[in-house]
A and B are shown apart, each in its own frame.
Chain A
Amino acid sequence: MAWFGATVPGSSRASDREQRERRLGWKLTAPAFATMLLVTAYPIAKALWLSLFSYRLTDPAGREFVGLRNYAVVLSDSLWWRDVATTLLITVVTVAVELGTGMAFAMVMHRIGRGRRLVRTAILVPYGIVTVVSALSWRYAFARDTGFVNGWLGLVDFAWFSHFWSSLIAICMAEIWKTTPFMSILLLTGLVQVPAELHEAAQVDGATRWQLFWRVTLPNMKGAFMVAVLFRTLDAYRIFDSVFVMTSGAQYTETVSFLAYRQTIGRTAIGIGSAVSMLLFLSVVLIAALFVKVFGVDLSRVGAP
C-alpha cells in the first residue's frame, strides 16, 4: 500500500472538509482521466464492435454483421499462429539476452568508481534514441550494399535479410540494443537496495563469488527483477517498429502487431483487422495476468515502466 499512501491528516469533525477534498480530487484528476480514456477505452470498445462485422473501408455499403466469424477466420488461419510463434520467439530471445546483459551492465554501473557519470550517460543514449533510427542503423549495418557487418565478419556477400534466421538475428540485435539500458536501469535500482551487510555476512561464512550472486544478490532483488521482466516482455510482445523498418515482415518475420497493422491500415479490412487487434490486446492481458498469478508480481509496488 505504500504506493497509495501520503494523505493529508484529516480531523474527525471534517466531513464538510472531506467532501470538499473529495470534490477537488475529482476535479483535478478528471481532465487527465478523460484524456486517457478518450483515446483508449473508446477505440478498444469500437474495435470490439467492428470486429463483429465484415467491413472494408473500400466497400462501406457491404458492411454486414457476422458475429464471431472474423475470430474463427483468424484463429483457423496458420498465418496467425505463425505470427504468434515468431512474436513469442522474438520475445523470449530478446528478454533472455537483455536480462543477462542488463544484469552485467547494472553490476558494472553499481560497482564502478571512476567514470560512473560517463557510463550512466552513455547507457541512456539507446534508451532515448528513436526506435526507427535504431532499426535503420542496424539495417544499414547488416545490409549487403551499405553495411560493415559482412566486412567485419569476413562474410563478403551474405544477404542477411534474405533468410529467416539471419533476419531474425538482425531484428533481435536492434531490439536488444535499444532496450537493454532500460532493463539495466531497473535492475540497478534493485541492486542498490540489496543490503551490504548480507554480503558481508555471507563472505564471512566463506561464500564464493558465484554463491554470493545466486544466493544473496538475486533473491534479494526479486521484485525489481520480475518487474523488469514483466515490462520488457509486454513491450517485446508488441514489437512493431523494428520489424516494419528492417524487413516489413518478409522472410516470415511478421509479428502479431504487424499483422494487425497490415490488415487494418494496409488492407483497410477493418472488420478482420479489428479481430486481430482484439486478439493482440487479449494476449497482452493474458501475459500480464500470467505474470501476476504465476510469478506473483505485485503491480501495486510498481512505479514507473
Chain B
Amino acid sequence: MSRLLKKACFALGAAGVVGYALLPVAWILALSLKSGDDVGNQKFWPTSFTLENYRAVFASPLFTSALVNSIGISLVATTISVALSTLAAYAIARLEFPGKKAILEIALAIAMFPVVSLVGPLFDTWRSIGLYDTWLGLILPYMSFTLPLSIWVLSAFFRQIPWELEQAAQMDGATSWQAFRKVIVPIAAPGVFTAAILTFFFAWNDFVFGISLTSTDRARPVPAALAFFSGASQFQQPAVAIAAAAVVVTVPVVALVLLFQQRIVAGLTAGAVKG
C-alpha cells in the first residue's frame, strides 16, 4: 500500500513538473491560434483554431527580416565562438603554460558580468566605427559572452578524453593526423556539439544587445523586434500576431531540446561542483 502510494506521489510529481514546464508554452501556442473574437474571452484554449496569425506574421517584412538576422547572426557567432573555444580548451586541458589559471578566472568573471553596463560604451564606440546596426556589431558581443561557457564545457570535456589512445594509434602505425582524425575527433565531437548548442541558445536568446546596438531591420534580431512590435499599439490587437511570432522562434529551441536533451544537461553540469 505505501509502495503504491509512493508511486502515485512520484507520478503526480512528474506530472507537476511537466505541466509546470509546458504551461506557458502551451498558452502562447493557444493564443497564437486564436481568432479575433476569442482573444478577450479569458479562456485558455481558442474556441476555433486559425492559422491566420502565422500567415500575417510571415507576410510581415518586419518579422521575416528579423528572423533572417537572428538565424544568420546566431549561426555565425556560434561557429566562430566554438572554433576559438575549442583551441583554447584544448590548450587548457592538455598543455602546461603560465596564465592558464588567469584565463579561466577571467572567463568566470565575464560570465558574471552585467551586460547592460556595457551597452552604453559599446553603443558609443559602435556608432563611431560604423559597427552600429550591423551583423558584426552583434556577432562580436555574442562571441565574447559565449566564450566563457564554451571554454568551461569544452575544457571539462577534453580533460576526460583518454589521450593515450592517440599514442596507441600511432604505435599501431597511424600517422599523427590519422590518429587525431580517426581517434580523437570522434570522441571530442559530442562535447564540441554540446558547446555549440549552449552558445546558440545564448545568441538566440539575447535581448539587451539586440535592442541597444541596432535601430533598423538591417540587423535587428527577433527578440528585439518582438518587443518593439508590441510597443507599437496602432495595430488593433497585436497580441495574437506576436504570439505567433513567439511560437516560431520557440520551435528551434524545442527541437534542439527534444533531440539533444542528455547532451544539454551534460553541458550545463560539465565540471560543475565537485564534492
Q: Give A residues with C-beta under 8 Å from B.
A: 2-8, 10, 18, 21-26, 28-29, 31-33, 35-40, 42-44, 46-47, 50, 57, 104-105, 108-109, 111-113, 115, 117-134, 136-138, 140-141, 143, 145-148, 150-152, 177, 180-182, 185-186, 188-190, 193, 223-224, 227, 234, 237-238, 240-241, 244-245, 257-258, 260-261, 263-265, 270, 273-274, 277-278, 280-281, 284, 288, 299, 301-305
Residues of A within 8 A of B211 (CB): 244, 265
Kindly list the 3 A-B residue pairs having the minimum CB-CB distance in the complex, ordered from nearest.
Answer: A303-B271, A151-B42, A25-B97
Residues of B within 8 A of A133 (CB): 28, 223, 226, 246, 249-250
With A25-B97, A238-B114 as contacts: A227 and B88 at CB distance below 8 Å: no
A sample of 16 inter-chain contacts (CB < 8 A) reads: A8-B94, A25-B97, A26-B99, A47-B121, A104-B13, A108-B14, A112-B10, A130-B222, A137-B27, A145-B239, A147-B42, A177-B20, A238-B114, A261-B119, A280-B117, A304-B153
* Min CB–CB distance A194 → chain B (angstroms): 11
Residues of B within 8 A of A109 (CB): 17
- Are B120 and A273 in contact, CB atoms less than 8 angstroms apart? yes
Residues of A within 8 A of B91 (CB): 24-25, 28-29
- Are B250 and A223 in contact, CB atoms less than 8 angstroms apart? no
- Are B273 and A224 in contact, CB atoms less than 8 angstroms apart? yes
Docked pose: A137 CA to B244 CA in angstroms: 11
Residues of B within 8 A of A238 (CB): 114-116
With A47-B121, A112-B14 as contacts: A131 and B270 at CB distance below 8 Å: no
With A130-B250, A280-B114 as contacts: A305 and B149 at CB distance below 8 Å: yes
Residues of A within 8 A of B250 (CB): 129-130, 133
Residues of A within 8 A of B10 (CB): 108, 111-113
Docked pose: A124 CA to B99 CA in angstroms: 35
Main SS class of interface, B: helix
Question: Residue on A with the closest CB to B213?
Answer: A265
- Are B151 and A7 in contact, CB atoms less than 8 angstroms apart? no
- Are A29 and B92 in contact, CB atoms less than 8 angstroms apart? yes
Interface Cβ pair total, 8 Å cutoff: 346
Residues of A within 8 A of B108 (CB): 299, 302
- Are B17 and A7 in contact, CB atoms less than 8 angstroms apart? no
- Are B116 and A125 in contact, CB atoms less than 8 angstroms apart? no
| B76 CB-CB contact with A under 8 Å | no
- Please, how many residues of chain B have a CB less than 8 angstroms from a CB on the other chain? 108
Residues of A within 8 A of B40 (CB): 145-146
For B231-275 the 0/1 string (1 means CB < 8 A from A) is 000000101001100100110011011100100110111111111
* Min CB–CB distance A63 → chain B (angstroms): 11
| B31 CB-CB contact with A under 8 Å | yes
Docked pose: A47 CA to B118 CA in angstroms: 7
Residues of B within 8 A of A265 (CB): 119-120, 123, 211-212
Docked pose: A252 CA to B275 CA in angstroms: 42
- 15 more A-B contacts (CB under 8 A) besides A25-B91, A273-B120? A2-B274, A22-B97, A37-B144, A39-B140, A46-B121, A47-B117, A47-B118, A128-B254, A130-B222, A132-B227, A145-B39, A177-B24, A260-B116, A265-B211, A304-B152
Interface residues of B in 1-51 (CB under 8 A from A): 10-11, 13-14, 16-18, 20-22, 24-25, 27-28, 31, 39-44
Residues of B within 8 A of A260 (CB): 116-117, 119-120
Contact of A137 among B92, B140, B145, B246 (CB under 8 A): B246
* Min CB–CB distance B54 → chain A (angstroms): 15
Contact of B118 among A37, A40, A122, A130 (CB under 8 A): A40
- Are B156 and A32 in contact, CB atoms less than 8 angstroms apart? no
| B159 CB-CB contact with A under 8 Å | yes
- Are A32 and B151 in contact, CB atoms less than 8 angstroms apart? yes
- Are B204 and A123 in contact, CB atoms less than 8 angstroms apart? no
Q: Give B residues with C-beta under 8 Å from A.
A: 10-11, 13-14, 16-18, 20-22, 24-25, 27-28, 31, 39-44, 84-85, 87-88, 90-101, 103-108, 110-125, 140-141, 143-145, 147-149, 151-153, 156, 159, 201, 204-205, 207-208, 211-212, 222-223, 226-227, 230, 237, 239, 242-243, 246, 249-250, 253-254, 256-258, 261, 264-265, 267-275
